[in-house]
Amino acid sequence: MATASAATLGGLTGAAQAAQPTPWAVWSQTAASPIQAMIERFNAGITIVMALVVVVVLALIIYCVVRFNAKANPVPSKTSHNTMIEVIWTLAPILILIGISVPSFSLLFAQADPARIVKDYDPEKVMTIKATGLQWYWNYEYPDNDGIAFDSTMLEDKDRTDPVNQPRLLAVDNEMIVPVGTVVRLQVIGADVIHSFAMPSFGLKLDAVPGRLNETWFLAEREGVYYGQCSELCGINHAYMPIAIRVVKPEQFKAWAAQAKDDLPGAYKTLAAALAQDKVAQASEAAVEVAAR
């Protein structure tokens, strides 16, 4: 049944809708949450600061090599110290670190409190999902939705009916389903050893420690399917413990949740049908726009 559910949804994951590692990628995955957007801005800012420091230091080195080489300066200076230079090279790093700390603390505070960056944040509308790491799969619980609970296991090669839309080592039998634009309180714990729940597109990484319930939050800004993996060495099959989160419209999530509590495979099939209808509607709209041009 689980494999059938994965096969039903697999064909609906277009390349533009999926977030996963790509060959030769040197930057982070495209942000799909406000936290990851902040992380990317912070990373870009730090990169610029680093580049400027490298350029300034390189320029000083080149100046010293040219100005004070033996040919240009046959009589070497016997200066033992320079107060102004020492003050500058002490204060400059301090000021740089202070400048870096401001956006750093802002990001840390936002990761703990969605009210800092989510417009019209309403604590009453926050949805809770509990992710439990086991060797070597994830279990998801929806305490706010009649206690829906299911396991999410990586699809083996023989079960991947659509290799293009079911990426190897990332596709799972039962995806986590969440509504777009909704703050999700994510609780993470380990059932056996330490695991780590990581979703790059959401800027999310949280350790799953046995006996300790860790908590964070995310808000998916775009529909689609997003892939992550366990990021803590947890045993022989650590590399085969992916995470797949499918983001859908709020009404589609409600329909899925209402059916999933009694019929999980049927809920995935109903969701797949709704997503297929959306795909057809989008194709029709695109055709009309092209014809209008």
Provide the pLDDT for residue 41: 94
Locate all alpha helices (DSSP H) within 68-82, ordered by sequence.
none
Q: CATH number of the domain at 124-290, please?
A: 2.60.40.420
- Residue-wise burial string across 41-76, b where 16 or more C-beta atoms lie within 10 A, e elsewhere: eeeeeeeeeeeeeeeeeeeeeeeeeeeeeeeeeeee
Q: Give strand pairing partners of 150.
A: 140
Rounded CA-CA distance 155/138 in Å is 13
Dihedral in degrees, nearest 10, Cα atoms 147, 7, 178, 19: 140
According to the model, what pLDDT value does residue 17 have?
A: 63
Q: What is the pLDDT along the chain (293 residues), one digit of tens a residue?
A: 556 566 567 656 544 467 788 888 888 888 999 999 999 999 999 999 999 999 999 999 999 899 888 888 888 888 788 899 899 999 999 999 999 999 999 999 999 999 999 988 999 899 999 999 999 999 999 999 988 999 999 999 999 988 888 999 999 999 999 999 999 999 999 999 999 999 999 999 999 999 999 999 999 999 999 999 999 999 999 999 999 999 999 999 999 999 999 999 999 999 999 999 988 888 777 777 777 77
Is domain 34-112 annotated with CATH 1.10.287.90?
Answer: yes
CB count within 10 Å of CB 258 equals: 15
**Cis omega before residue 138 (within 30°)?**
no
Q: In 17-156, which ranges are continuous DSSP H helix?
A: 34-67, 83-112
Chain center to CA of 285 = 30
Range(s) within the chain of domains with CATH label 2.60.40.420 = 124-290
Looking at the chain, the domain(s) classified CATH 1.10.287.90 span: 34-112
β pairing state of 176-179 and 242-248? parallel
pLDDT at 222: 93
Residue 151 near residue 180, CB atoms below 8 Å: no
pLDDT for position 1: 52
Residue type, 268: Y
What are the C-alpha distances in Å from 144 to residues 99, 106, 187? 41, 30, 13
**DSSP letter, residue 207:** E
pLDDT at 15: 42
